[in-house]
Amino acid sequence: MNKELSKKINLLLRSEKAMLKLEMNRRSRQAVLAAIGIIAVLATLVMLNVTAYLFLEVYFEPKIAALSLTTVDLFIAILFLVIASRQELGREAEAVSEIRDYARQELAGEIEVLQQETAEIRESFSKVSSGISSVFNRDFSAVKAVIPLVEMFVKSRKK
Protein backbone atom coordinates (compact mmCIF):
# COMPACT_ATOMS: atom_id res chain seq x y z
CA MET A 1 0.00 0.00 0.00
CA ASN A 2 2.89 2.37 0.71
CA LYS A 3 4.24 1.74 -2.78
CA GLU A 4 0.91 2.64 -4.35
CA LEU A 5 0.68 5.77 -2.22
CA SER A 6 4.23 6.67 -3.18
CA LYS A 7 3.42 6.14 -6.87
CA LYS A 8 0.35 8.34 -6.63
CA ILE A 9 2.24 11.10 -4.86
CA ASN A 10 5.00 10.81 -7.46
CA LEU A 11 2.42 11.04 -10.27
CA LEU A 12 0.88 14.10 -8.66
CA LEU A 13 4.26 15.79 -8.28
CA ARG A 14 5.23 15.01 -11.89
CA SER A 15 1.96 16.39 -13.23
CA GLU A 16 2.33 19.54 -11.12
CA LYS A 17 5.90 19.93 -12.41
CA ALA A 18 4.69 19.54 -16.01
CA MET A 19 1.90 22.07 -15.44
CA LEU A 20 4.38 24.52 -13.95
CA LYS A 21 6.72 24.03 -16.91
CA LEU A 22 3.88 24.66 -19.38
CA GLU A 23 2.79 27.72 -17.45
CA MET A 24 6.36 29.07 -17.42
CA ASN A 25 6.65 28.49 -21.18
CA ARG A 26 3.40 30.36 -21.75
CA ARG A 27 4.48 33.23 -19.52
CA SER A 28 7.86 33.47 -21.22
CA ARG A 29 6.21 33.53 -24.68
CA GLN A 30 3.89 36.27 -23.45
CA ALA A 31 6.81 38.26 -22.10
CA VAL A 32 8.81 37.90 -25.30
CA LEU A 33 5.83 38.88 -27.47
CA ALA A 34 5.07 41.83 -25.22
CA ALA A 35 8.70 42.96 -25.36
CA ILE A 36 8.85 42.58 -29.14
CA GLY A 37 5.57 44.44 -29.42
CA ILE A 38 6.80 47.26 -27.22
CA ILE A 39 10.12 47.56 -29.04
CA ALA A 40 8.41 47.48 -32.42
CA VAL A 41 5.87 50.03 -31.33
CA LEU A 42 8.52 52.33 -29.92
CA ALA A 43 10.76 52.13 -32.98
CA THR A 44 7.86 52.54 -35.34
CA LEU A 45 6.36 55.32 -33.35
CA VAL A 46 9.57 57.26 -33.21
CA MET A 47 9.91 57.27 -36.97
CA LEU A 48 6.21 57.46 -37.65
CA ASN A 49 5.70 60.25 -35.18
CA VAL A 50 8.40 62.40 -36.69
CA THR A 51 7.13 61.82 -40.21
CA ALA A 52 3.47 62.13 -39.34
CA TYR A 53 4.00 65.22 -37.24
CA LEU A 54 5.85 66.93 -40.06
CA PHE A 55 3.09 65.92 -42.49
CA LEU A 56 0.20 66.91 -40.21
CA GLU A 57 1.80 70.18 -39.24
CA VAL A 58 1.34 71.34 -42.81
CA TYR A 59 -2.46 70.82 -42.64
CA PHE A 60 -3.27 71.31 -38.92
CA GLU A 61 -2.06 73.23 -35.92
CA PRO A 62 0.85 71.64 -34.06
CA LYS A 63 -1.41 70.79 -31.07
CA ILE A 64 -3.92 68.89 -33.22
CA ALA A 65 -1.11 67.05 -35.00
CA ALA A 66 0.44 65.95 -31.67
CA LEU A 67 -2.94 64.79 -30.31
CA SER A 68 -3.61 62.71 -33.42
CA LEU A 69 -0.23 61.01 -33.19
CA THR A 70 -0.69 60.25 -29.47
CA THR A 71 -4.04 58.58 -30.17
CA VAL A 72 -2.56 56.36 -32.87
CA ASP A 73 0.39 55.45 -30.62
CA LEU A 74 -1.95 54.43 -27.82
CA PHE A 75 -4.06 52.27 -30.16
CA ILE A 76 -1.00 50.40 -31.46
CA ALA A 77 0.31 49.75 -27.93
CA ILE A 78 -3.06 48.39 -26.79
CA LEU A 79 -3.27 46.14 -29.83
CA PHE A 80 0.07 44.45 -29.05
CA LEU A 81 -0.73 44.05 -25.35
CA VAL A 82 -4.05 42.39 -26.20
CA ILE A 83 -2.31 39.96 -28.57
CA ALA A 84 0.28 39.11 -25.89
CA SER A 85 -2.39 38.44 -23.26
CA ARG A 86 -4.29 35.94 -25.44
CA GLN A 87 -1.68 33.19 -25.29
CA GLU A 88 -3.16 29.87 -24.08
CA LEU A 89 -1.70 26.64 -22.71
CA GLY A 90 -3.30 24.37 -25.31
CA ARG A 91 -4.31 20.70 -25.45
CA GLU A 92 -1.15 19.52 -23.76
CA ALA A 93 -2.09 21.36 -20.58
CA GLU A 94 -5.55 19.76 -20.59
CA ALA A 95 -4.02 16.28 -20.65
CA VAL A 96 -1.61 17.08 -17.84
CA SER A 97 -4.44 18.66 -15.87
CA GLU A 98 -6.51 15.47 -16.21
CA ILE A 99 -3.59 13.38 -14.96
CA ARG A 100 -3.12 15.74 -12.02
CA ASP A 101 -6.81 15.58 -11.13
CA TYR A 102 -6.78 11.78 -11.32
CA ALA A 103 -3.73 11.60 -9.06
CA ARG A 104 -5.39 13.93 -6.56
CA GLN A 105 -8.54 11.78 -6.47
CA GLU A 106 -6.55 8.58 -6.00
CA LEU A 107 -4.43 10.17 -3.31
CA ALA A 108 -7.51 11.46 -1.52
CA GLY A 109 -8.94 7.92 -1.52
CA GLU A 110 -5.70 6.51 -0.09
CA ILE A 111 -5.60 9.18 2.60
CA GLU A 112 -9.19 8.41 3.55
CA VAL A 113 -8.34 4.70 3.92
CA LEU A 114 -5.31 5.59 6.04
CA GLN A 115 -7.46 7.82 8.25
CA GLN A 116 -9.94 4.98 8.76
CA GLU A 117 -7.16 2.54 9.62
CA THR A 118 -5.65 5.05 12.04
CA ALA A 119 -9.02 5.51 13.73
CA GLU A 120 -9.41 1.73 14.06
CA ILE A 121 -5.92 1.39 15.57
CA ARG A 122 -6.63 4.25 17.96
CA GLU A 123 -9.89 2.58 19.02
CA SER A 124 -8.09 -0.76 19.54
CA PHE A 125 -5.44 0.89 21.71
CA SER A 126 -8.18 2.58 23.68
CA LYS A 127 -9.89 -0.78 24.31
CA VAL A 128 -6.62 -2.43 25.38
CA SER A 129 -5.78 0.50 27.62
CA SER A 130 -9.19 0.44 29.30
CA GLY A 131 -8.86 -3.35 29.77
CA ILE A 132 -5.45 -2.96 31.41
CA SER A 133 -6.76 -0.14 33.59
CA SER A 134 -9.73 -2.22 34.74
CA VAL A 135 -7.38 -5.07 35.77
CA PHE A 136 -5.20 -2.78 37.89
CA ASN A 137 -8.08 -0.80 39.38
CA ARG A 138 -9.94 -3.82 40.77
CA ASP A 139 -10.62 -4.28 44.45
CA PHE A 140 -8.22 -6.86 45.91
CA SER A 141 -9.42 -6.55 49.56
CA ALA A 142 -10.73 -10.13 49.55
CA VAL A 143 -7.31 -11.43 48.57
CA LYS A 144 -5.74 -9.44 51.41
CA ALA A 145 -8.05 -11.13 53.89
CA VAL A 146 -7.17 -14.60 52.62
CA ILE A 147 -3.36 -14.12 52.77
CA PRO A 148 -3.10 -14.53 56.59
CA LEU A 149 -5.14 -17.72 56.36
CA VAL A 150 -2.84 -19.10 53.66
CA GLU A 151 0.22 -18.21 55.79
CA MET A 152 -1.25 -20.03 58.80
CA PHE A 153 -2.00 -23.06 56.62
CA VAL A 154 1.55 -23.13 55.23
CA LYS A 155 3.05 -22.83 58.75
CA SER A 156 0.88 -25.58 60.06
CA ARG A 157 1.94 -27.91 57.27
CA LYS A 158 5.61 -27.28 58.01
CA LYS A 159 5.20 -28.43 61.62
Determine, yes or no, domain membership for 144.
Answer: no
138 inside domain: no
Range 71-77, long-range pairs (CB < 8 A, 24+ positions) = 72/48, 73/41, 73/45, 73/49, 76/41, 76/44, 76/45, 77/37, 77/38, 77/41
Low-confidence ranges of the chain (pLDDT < 50): none
**pTM across the whole model:** 0.35
Query: Does residue 122 lie in a domain region?
Result: yes
Residue 87 falls inside a structural domain = yes
Residue ranges making up the domain that contains 97: 2-130
In a domain, 147, yes or no: no
**What's the confidence (pLDDT) of residue 143?**
58
- Residue 81 counted as domain residue: yes
pLDDT in tens, 38-67: 898 788 778 877 888 889 889 988 888 888
Contact 103, 15 (CB under 8 A): yes
Domain count, the chain: 1
153 within domain boundaries? no
pLDDT of residue 50: 85
118 in a structural domain = yes
Q: At what angle do helices 2-59 and 62-85 cross, to 10 degrees?
A: 160
What confidence score (pLDDT) does residue 33 get?
92
